[in-house]
Structure 1
Amino acid sequence: MKTGNLDDTQPVVVNPVDRLDPGDRVGSTIGGRYRLLRVLGQGGMGTVYEAEHVSLAKRLAVKTMRPGMAADPHQASRFMREAQALALLHHPHIVEVFDFGSADGELFLVMELLPGRPLSAWLAALPTSPPIALVASLLDQALDAIEMAHRSGIIHRDLKPDNLFLSDAPGGLRLTLVDFGLAHVDEAIDRVGKLTSTGMIAGTPLYMSPEQCRSLSVSPSSDLYSLGCILTEMLQGTPPFDATSSAELMAQHMF
């Protein structure tokens, strides 16, 4: 029996990786050299694993994109953009990338494995606002990382507490900037200091700059505005604006 225009005699081909729960992949190897050890986190686009290089016994973080997402040119381009952006940047407060590849239709990105937790989780666990001196130290580290990215012609476009990772280090907390999936990469900043417009809205509404909300071209100031929103949250416990919808939030940033 046939239904609609589908020929029942033709099998539907589904990539086996798409059917796996992320936890089921623990113990398997990707790219022929990275053994997946445990799930660190997952989202709509894919999963981040703690992994080990099978020859070097080095612990790393491997970010994978689901094959179904990788088949979408826009999503694959976004994943590639993150790899390219990180490959241009070498800074103590920016996560380091080691490898990028494709295996069985699945894109993967290999990065430095960071101990600790994101700023969002750290803030949520505090009974009160952090000391001003500590806030100043974290802000200084974030500014160092952002300045390096901007000098390289890269605008992050998605600065938020989830993308600032905190680790214990000698002398205090170390901040590392992660997730360049929405980064705008250009070879050079033009004469007026702005990068080519993306023509699309990109970012997280709680922390987006007015120009991002309006889908205008971004500049280094866009990241600084987002960092200002994060600073406000660190000092008062909440972001500068709150609303029941993304549209309302963006309107508050714009007006």
Structure 2
Amino acid sequence: MATALTLDALPHQKSEPRRRRRERPATLTPGQSVGAWRVERELGHGGMGSVYAITHKTFGKRAALKLCHRGVLGPDFTAATFLREARVVNLIDHPGVPDVFATGSYDGRPYLAMERLRGQTLGDHVRASTFSTLESIALILELCDILSAAHASNVVHRDLKLDNVFVVDACPALGLGRRVKLLDWGVAHVVGEPDPLCGVLAGTLTYIAPEQVRGDALTPAADVYSLAVLIYQCLLRRPPFA
């Protein structure tokens, strides 16, 4: 089972990009407790944090725990910035946005407890050439619907890319086909509100719109640019500016 979260996008200073920590952060172990949750296993890790399969100790609810690496936190990316994702996703009323239902702190590191998904990222599928052109277009249309709902709620994702689009496995027993979820809303911007990442170039360079690089006011158009890059990659199996 692939993790429901991708973790490699870090904000970067425009004048001097921040280097990621090379050392492997300390991991949680199976059976360890984090608040009301019990850790089952690690699902994945990246530059920003690690993700664990967890179960609620009282209710038995299964979820995913996104735990921030200590080395990521600093003046440009605080614990409050990390936890802000919980509020942002709850501004958007769409099943394609993963639910975040608890936040907290463990050993001085903020965490999110969120919906656990089964499947793979769209990036994994593209690299494996899993889908036909028509299947890819169907998934892209689902993604467009998610973005439309986000933009209607004045939310700009700001880090749209293949590895932040998750394709949930089909479940024939429940009559469910493949579904798309858009992940990692941690650097999203709410139009009309102060931007906690103002002055920081957030996102993934292959997909970043020119106005983001210039430091212009962020609008949904930035996501549309990233979407165009994603569609190009999805259909042609390579980035447009390789």
> What TM-score range do you get, normalising by the shorter chain?
0.7 to 0.9
Q: 1:112 aligns with which of 111, 115, 121?
A: 115
- Contact 2:76/2:200, CA 8 A, preserved across alignment: no
> Alignment length, in residue pairs?
215
Instruction: Write the mapping of 1:1-255 to structure 2, written as runs, cut at 5 A.
Output: 21-22=26-27, 24-31=28-35, 33-70=36-73, 72=75, 74-126=77-129, 130-169=131-170, 170=175, 172-187=177-192, 198-242=198-242
- Contact 1:156/1:183, CA 8 A, preserved across alignment: yes
- Contact 1:167/1:174, CA 8 A, preserved across alignment: yes
1:60 and 1:158 map into 2 onto residues whose CA distance is 23
SS at 1:126's partner residue? coil
What letter matches 1:223 in structure 2? D
What letter matches 1:162 in structure 2? D
1:15-61 deviation line (CA, Å, top 9, x unaligned): xxx99731x52220112x11111111111222100100111111100
Report how far residue 174 of structure 1 moved. 0.8
Specify whether residues 158 and 225 from structure 1 end up closer, same or farther in structure 2 by C-alpha distance, changes over 3 A only.
Answer: same
2:201 and 2:71 map into 1 onto residues whose CA distance is 23
1:107-127 deviation line (CA, Å, top 9, x unaligned): 110110010011111111127
What letter matches 2:147 in structure 1? I
Report how far residue 68 of structure 1 moved. 4.4
1:124-160 deviation line (CA, Å, top 9, x unaligned): 1127xx3232122111111111111111111000000
1:76-121 deviation line (CA, Å, top 9, x unaligned): 2431222221122231111111111123312110110010011111
Unpaired segments of 5 or more residues in structure 1? 1-17, 189-194, 243-255
2:218 and 2:76 map into 1 onto residues whose CA distance is 23
Specify whether residues 171 and 68 from structure 1 end up closer, same or farther in structure 2 by C-alpha distance, changes over 3 A only.
Answer: closer
Specify whether residues 19 and 116 from structure 1 end up closer, same or farther in structure 2 by C-alpha distance, changes over 3 A only.
Answer: closer
1:81 and 1:196 map into 2 onto residues whose CA distance is 10
TM-score (ref. length: structure 2): 0.80
Map of 2:3 onto structure 1: none
In terms of fraction of residues, the more helix-rich structure is 1
RMSD: 2.4
- Percent of aligned positions that are identical: 38
1:57 and 1:226 map into 2 onto residues whose CA distance is 38
SS at 1:205's partner residue? coil
1:146 and 1:94 map into 2 onto residues whose CA distance is 10
